[in-house]
Amino acid sequence: MKRPIAIIDCAIAKPSYNCMNQMIQNFNIPTTYHWVSQFGCSSLDKIEDASGYIIFGSDSNVYQRLDWQVDLAKRMKEKLEKNIPIMGICFGHQLIADIFGSKVDMVKPDNQLFEGIRKSKVLTDKFGFKKDEEFSLFITHHYEVKELPRGFIHLATSDDCFLDGIAHETLPFFSFQGHPEASQDFVEGHIEMNLTEQELKDAYEGGHKVIKNFIDYVNDH
């Protein structure tokens, strides 16, 4: 990996340092960090194009059309068109789907929060994922991608979220509604359910797999 992976933090209340630090520790990768929801996207101008971009989750909603959201979506679409790999997580999953013309809305009309752990099933071979394999991810979300954008494929599904994972047919992008980046700090701060040791282990391992597939793709790209 010649250039770092840019971590784009969209968190509102507090930064996701622990998620980034866990990723660095697990994979020993160079990174740059950009808290765009607080400071805008200008820090992305201060680095050369990264080898890849990972867009973290957010308490905000893409339909708020906040200035930083609009700027980030435009920039990420431009990066994809330059063939630079991007992975979207939760809000990042929704942001890219939205900029490519999809509909994002509440999972349930009453704005129910979906939290805990969810098992995803892969539907096609792509980006290192194998059809019919299953893995667990931590989840915490009110919104989801409702329609597959034009030019995308349905990568993974689950009982509660039909478009749990998507990927572009030709551009280097995939995303999940779940949180593969979740650290212990993230889980303790966002998920109030009581989870067994095995459930936690499975979700951390599932997240590790998703991140590894992206890093492997970036290294081979």
Per-residue pLDDT of the chain (221 residues; tens, 9 = 90+): 679 999 999 999 899 999 999 999 999 999 999 999 999 999 999 888 899 999 999 999 999 999 999 999 999 999 999 999 999 999 999 999 999 999 998 877 776 677 789 999 999 999 999 999 999 999 988 889 999 999 999 999 999 899 999 999 999 999 999 999 999 988 888 887 788 899 999 999 999 999 999 999 999 98
Q: Residue 126 has what pLDDT?
A: 98
Q: Residue 1 has what pLDDT?
A: 61
Q: Residue 111 has what pLDDT?
A: 67
Nearest to 165 by CA among 188, 136, 193, 204: 136
For the purposes of burial, counting CB atoms within 10 Å of the CB of 17, is it exposed (0-12), middle (13-18) or buried (19 or more)? middle
Q: Residue 193 has what pLDDT?
A: 76
- Which candidate in 90, 141, 144, 161 is catalytic? 90
116 close to 139: Cβ distance less than 8 angstroms:
yes
Active site (annotated) includes residue 10: no
- Which candidate in 93, 141, 168, 179 is catalytic? 179
> Residue ranges per domain, the chain?
5-220
Q: Residue 132 has what pLDDT?
A: 98
Active site (annotated) includes residue 179: yes
Active site (annotated) includes residue 41: no
Residue with tokens 């994979």: 27
Residue with tokens 């784009």: 8
Q: Residue 128 has what pLDDT?
A: 97
Q: Residue 108 has what pLDDT?
A: 72
Tell me the C-alpha distance between 64 and 72, whole Å. Answer: 13
Around Cβ 112, how many Cβ atoms within 10 Å?
Answer: 11
Which CATH architecture describes the domain 5-220?
Answer: 3-Layer(aba) Sandwich (3.40)
- Which candidate in 10, 19, 93, 181 is catalytic? 181
Q: Is the pTM above the cut of 0.75?
A: yes
